[in-house]
Structure 1
Amino acid sequence: MARRRRTVTRGLGTVMLRVVPALFILIFFLWPLGALVRRAVEARSDEGIGELLRRTHALDLLGFTLFQAAVSTMLALVVAAPMVWLIARVDIPGSLLLTVVVTVPFVLPTVVVGVAFRALLDGPLAFLNISSGLWPILLAHAFLNVAVIARVVGAAWGSLDPRLGEAAQTLGAGRLRAFLDVTLPRLLPAVGAAAALVFLFCSTSFGVIIILGNGEIRTLETEIYTQAISYFRIPEAVMLSMLQIVVVVAALLFTRLFTEPGGSAASTAARTRFRPHGRQWLPVSAALAWVALVLVAPLAVLVLRSVRPGADGEWTLAGYRALNESVNGVTPLESLRYSLGTAALAMVIALAIGLLAAIAMHRSTGAWAAAGGVVTTIPLGISAVTLGFGYLIVLAALPRDVAASPLVIPCVQALIAIPVVVRVAVPALESVSWRLRQAASTLGASPLRVFLTVDLPMIGRSLCAAGGFAFVMALGEFGATSFLARADTTTLPVLIGSALNRPGAENLATAMAASVVLVAVTTLAVTIVEAVRPRQGALL
């Protein structure tokens, strides 16, 4: 009888675990998208779809969006190749620092990356005369996304059994041929998965294109914002949002083709890595120099330009002193405090909802587990501008007190961070021995007590890492928040964007100084995360 009662309780608990995350996704994700679909239907009754597509040049925008995303992905693959080799094959002192350097660009606010590349291309690389346009965008996208390729492919390479490659070399194959014939084919699924994710992120890029495009480059993402906010042409913005959703869903489905269930393990990584000595330090040093040139140099130039805004100007701390001066009614320091508070609250929400979803997926099998994986992944790739536009429509129809709730922005930020929490928590839960759970249950522990006394202590480090990444992702969110921000709810990334849109060297210096502050906070958070994170493969 007691066993039957525990079975019923466990079943009800699993149902509740599914209901809470499902309600959160329904309210904060499906509702805004549903509002967009409804507006699309209403727009269709007034004007034909063809007319809206023609007026907005939607097909041209779609073609260019896909083109720049594809080129950005190929460039990121080339740029990341030496970093993949370092992470997967080389064991050097300071590997934690290398991981932090590779990871920081991915979690930096896109608006900060735009500011950094503007400082780089207007400063040391001014002779190239490419301060705005397509090339800066491609370079910034590669900078942003090398972490995805380095961590996903690097973890997959590190988990491969090296004996097959060694056998090929024993039979007479050189190192290059052994890599091309044996190692590379086994890495192709990981390369495909990483490339698909990078393509998805580049096709929905917003902050980088807004800052570096200089109004000359238009994609679906930027045009949605322009039509909705600048011109308030709702039918046109809705139609472009629907087209963007189709692109995102197609990219997500393509990503799933390469994703292997269960993720990648790193159990054999120690056997495939070597400590360099003698001449082996030559390629290792070259790869480290490449990392410094590609990932450290843009941020170093940003720091330099924050204290010397003009190429031939004087050294000054005016930008940092201006952090306490008003920009559009709020100071950067006030925005920083607000950003830290909302990011912390978003982290708590993302951990709570993400952990519940992860437990439900861990306890589910078959279709339920697969559906949970798809649903919790979609917010990671959905267009932030499309989502923000959906929120704008929904909040306009709600009472003022609800629309102005201080929980709106943290919940939006949490929605974007939940997929990361799930992707960290599910493998951590799977690593807990079922025998320990069974022993605790046999001794009379309830499912809740089993989780608190067995699972939670063993996955605590993973949850801390997931919380850290949720915090930095929420801190840097720009696309959706830019639709929702008011004078008293302006996050620091949104304020940086506002400062860049205002003329004058003082505003540029303020934007750069604020960007340096965000880089410092992000780097500190990533360092803490990497220090506590269990070494169990890629995060993504």
Structure 2
Amino acid sequence: MRRTLARRPDHDRPGHDHPGRAGQPAPQRRSRRSADGIGAWWLLAAVLPVAFLAVFFAWPVAAMLLRGIAPEGVFDLSAFAQVLGAERTWRILGQTLGMAAAATVCSVTVGLPAAFVLYRRRFPGRAVLRGVVTVPFVLPTVVVGVAFRALLSPGGPLGFTGLDQTTTAVVLAMVFFNVSVVVRQVGAMWAGLDPRQAEAARVLGASGWRAWRTVTLPQLAPAIVSAASLVFLFCSAAFGIVQTLGRPGHGTLETEVWAQTVVFFDLRAAAVFSVLQFAVVLAAVGVSGWAASRAGRALRLQDARVPPLSRADAAPVAVAAALGLLIVLPIATLVVRSFHSAEGWGLHNYRLLTTAGAGFTGGTTVAEALEHSVKIALDATWLTLLAGVPLALLLTRRFRSRTAVRAQRALDGAVMLPLGVSAVTVGFGFVVSLRAQWPELAASGALVPAAQAVVALPLVVRSLVPVLAAVDPRLREAAQTLGASPWRVLLTVDGPFVLRGVGLAAGFAFAVSLGEFGATTFLASPDYQTLPVVIVRLLGRPGADNYGMALAGAVVLAVLTAAVMIMCERLRPRGAGAEGAW
């Protein structure tokens, strides 16, 4: 057989042009060209998600900005000079950047030792502790804010500190919410680093600290920078946390956008603050993308040895224990205080969830708001998956055309933008664009799940991309060489991977939609409000019963969100790329 193949004529070999057929490539070359993705198939696959982003993100945001810079249809930048010339504007910008930077530094400082303990050391219960660290990130921001109010307010365990409704409380809540990004992203890379290089440095006389600083830290630097930029991005857009904690100090860019649109109805000033916030987002997204590309080229060893904990690890263990306390204490306080009322300990606050609260006449009860939230979140989930799955497929295809690669990178950056653009901007953009254009569509309630889908889309895509990136491109090429159509390649090669990752993606979409607050405040009708909106409304009204109902409602929302994420985590694909979901 080998001898026969060796004598095979050139014109019979795959990829060789047959005599008399100059310029006609062999079937194998045609399959490779189709694998390039420049054709009607991939253009069709891009239409739906690109149209979704254009209609439900680009248009509302642009409409919001145009209302500020061209209120009468005439371009006018006088509002920028007026707002940027005010000292208060720079104080708001400084506080936004300052709190985000402080929370980022604290998250990295606490997250690195925790990542070392949870990913580079072996001990009983490590998997459980990894799950505990993940819990805050999937909680709605309203729940996080209410938990810290319960912890720091008078009557709470740390009420004596006087930190309630201060910028320090906001920074602590941001660290609580985002530190798991550092732990998981840096820890996943740390677990795969080759330990022999640091061991060689130790043998040559370097101290443990010097070996870590000169060998391990440079290898982790891209992952650290990527995680830090993501944390900064999330902290600069933490509207729900800042709003529930009382907008301390000068507030943030997001809360100022909300105040200018809802309180003062000054769209031109709101547009200027939106531009400032958008610039912060673009910078953070750019740094994150650059660092993520460098992180993928770091030296890795998949089967790195994981030693058990020892006495030498006392310092990182102590920091990890402090982080565990920061995570457990607010949640535990929220749960415990939800069972306490003026009548003592019991279920009084939970019984009141069937009412609209003290001082309200009619309106949505907490139980009804929960039902509304679940229905809206389900609608938002399938909308997100409908746009997110094609996007993930497009972003994981290996194109050979430079034009296609540039378009792919641009699309990847565009998908990340809703993560940082203020949900308040998106919500009000819906009001001045989609609601103004189709009021009957707004009256039907369809805009609320659409806005929530926009907010959830980046996380869904980020959870699917590592799974689809694990597909060996040679499998697709082999299927095409054997004559499989694009539909059959998609179903038989990519389909199983999509099904494995769609569980976690659906969980992210449902959890984010269930707790979305910023955009929903503009779009939810008074008779069809969601649970986060009702919780914030209860916090803003005086009365012990209203406060107790807010605590009980936050517990219900947190339990539902955590239960969904636990079920979806069980469906998460194990192996390479699993930690890269976020």
Which residue of the partner structure matches residue 306 of structure 1? 338
Which residue of the partner structure matches residue 346 of structure 2? 316
| Shift in alpha-carbon separation, 1:355–1:51, aligned structure 2, 3 A | same
Which residue of the partner structure matches residue 395 of structure 1? 434
Q: 1:93 aligns with which of 97, 108, 124?
A: 124
What letter matches 1:538 in structure 2? G
Which residue of the partner structure matches residue 384 of structure 1? 423
Partners of 1:497 and 1:411 in 2: how far apart?
A: 22
Matches within 5 A, 1:104-123: 104-122=135-153, 123=156
Deviates more, 1:37-46 or 1:377-386: 37-46
Deviation at 1:487, TM superposition (A): 2.0
| Shift in alpha-carbon separation, 1:265–1:103, aligned structure 2, 3 A | farther
Deviation at 1:214, TM superposition (A): 5.1
Partners of 2:455 and 2:477 in 1: how far apart?
A: 35
Deviation at 1:353, TM superposition (A): 1.0
| Shift in alpha-carbon separation, 1:288–1:5, aligned structure 2, 3 A | closer
Partners of 1:265 and 1:515 in 2: how far apart?
A: 41
Deviates more, 1:33-42 or 1:221-230: 33-42
Partners of 2:40 and 2:31 in 1: how far apart?
A: 11
Deviation at 1:301, TM superposition (A): 0.5
Which residue of the partner structure matches residue 392 of structure 2? 358
Q: 1:495 aligns with which of 524, 531, 534?
A: 534
Contact 2:142 2:532 in 1 (8 A): yes
Q: 2:202 aligns with which of 159, 163, 169?
A: 169
Contact 1:134 1:217 in 2 (8 A): no
What letter matches 1:539 in structure 2? A
Contact 2:104 2:228 in 1 (8 A): yes
Partners of 2:317 and 2:413 in 1: how far apart?
A: 41
Contact 1:336 1:492 in 2 (8 A): yes
What letter matches 2:355 in structure 1? E
Residue 452 in 1 paired to residue 494 in 2? no
Which residue of the partner structure matches residue 220 of structure 2? 187
Match of 2:345, SS state, is coil
Which residue of the partner structure matches residue 136 of structure 1? 169
Partners of 2:299 and 2:551 in 1: how far apart?
A: 39
Residue 345 in 1 paired to residue 379 in 2? yes
Which residue of the partner structure matches residue 91 of structure 2? 60
Identity of aligned residues (%): 41
Contact 2:133 2:327 in 1 (8 A): yes
Deviation at 1:264, TM superposition (A): 8.2
| Shift in alpha-carbon separation, 1:357–1:266, aligned structure 2, 3 A | farther
What letter matches 1:20 in structure 2? L
Compare relative contact order (CA 8 Å, sep 6+) and give the higher one, 1 or 2. 1
Q: Residues 464-507 of structure 1, C-alpha deviation per residue, up to 9 Å, x if partnerless?
A: 11221121111111111112111233111111111101110101
Unaligned runs of 5+ in 2: 1-23, 400-404
* RMSD across aligned positions (CA): 2.6
Residue 539 in 1 paired to residue 581 in 2? yes
Contact 1:133 1:217 in 2 (8 A): no
Greater C-alpha Rg: 2
Normalized against structure 2, the TM-score is what? 0.86
Partners of 1:272 and 1:416 in 2: how far apart?
A: 39
Deviates more, 1:54-63 or 1:329-338: 54-63
Matches within 5 A, 1:504-519: 504-519=543-558
Partners of 1:188 and 1:266 in 2: how far apart?
A: 12
Which residue of the partner structure matches residue 103 of structure 1? 134
Which residue of the partner structure matches residue 14 of structure 2? none
Point out the structure with the larger helix share: 1
Normalized against structure 1, the TM-score is what? 0.92
Aligned length: 537
Contact 2:117 2:317 in 1 (8 A): no
| Shift in alpha-carbon separation, 1:523–1:266, aligned structure 2, 3 A | farther
Deviation at 1:85, TM superposition (A): 1.4
Matches within 5 A, 1:277-316: 279=311, 286=318, 289-309=321-341, 314-316=344-346
Partners of 1:390 and 1:128 in 2: how far apart?
A: 40
Which residue of the partner structure matches residue 22 of structure 1? 50
Deviation at 1:461, TM superposition (A): 2.0
